Structure 1
């Protein structure tokens, strides 16, 4: 099995889907944002605040190179902008979790830990800018994806079943 890479806009549910896939498919899962926070010994929010987005994207590129060379048979959950790394297709099969912006925002604000969810997403601090970013990224997500899964109003269990049908595990 090649790696499976989950991409999509921040808050679409990549982490939740990864955790459920671990249960259903007995796969190992890693998260690129968690790797970056471990490498930097600070949160994504602090990295953005002190170093800026370019610095963060440079770290993502380093993580992508490491994934390509060192990781196999793994489910990789990514940050919202990870799809831009140059070697994405060399890392594995790219699965785009697709949902309209308003549904993503609704999912976040209706979450029991909504304040934490919003706080840890630096690019979601201004809703209009977040929507603009979504509209800019959406066609790019579709373009790089090998598989697109519509996650709108579906349970995490159903999303995982759809992914497992389309990806040879």
Structure 2
């Protein structure tokens, strides 16, 4: 949540000539609502169901595509069937600072319903950190690195 998955995925897609889709964008499109509104109106459990439906669709219909996943997507039952799982790793403090200092920081923070309360967000980060590393095939630390370096590391570790 906030590590730069979307930014990195778009840069990777452009650099390596692949298509990129974002699971949160797919859900927003299907539901015709922003993630924040889905959480507000239907709750987190409903959103997690949407993530599983999205994973099922990806498994059946999508190949050769880079997929950016929302923060809770690691829980979908068929994650490993979707492809190589790359974790962009960074400390909570680095992520929080990245979001706070971004040009559009208010917008970045507002669109993350689980980041509204910093204490809860840090607790969630701690809970997810081990789970993320457990499901990841490749881990790339992004702290203090330029995008070009991150992309090269991903490509090398994924043998692209």
Q: Which has the higher contact order (CA 8 A, sep 6+)?
A: 1
2:11 aligns with one of 20, 25, 35: 20
SS at match of 1:135: helix
TM-score by length of 1: 0.93
Please identify which structure carries the higher strand content.
Answer: 1
Matched, 1:85 2:76: yes
1:16·1:156 contact (CA, 8 Å) conserved in 2? no
- The CA deviation string for residues 47-99 of structure 1, in whole angstroms up to 9 with x for no partner, is 00010000000000000001111110000001011011010000000001100
Give the alignment partner of residue 94 of structure 1, picking from 77, 85, 95.
85
Which 4+ runs in 1 deviate beyond 6 A? none
1:107-149 C-alpha deviation (Å, 9 max, x unpaired): 0001000000000000000000000000000000000000000
What is the root-mean-square deviation of aligned Cα atoms in Å?
0.6
**In the alignment, does 2:131 pair up with 1:140?**
yes
- Which runs of no fewer than 5 residues in structure 1 stay unpaired? 1-9
Q: 5+ residue gaps in structure 2? A: none
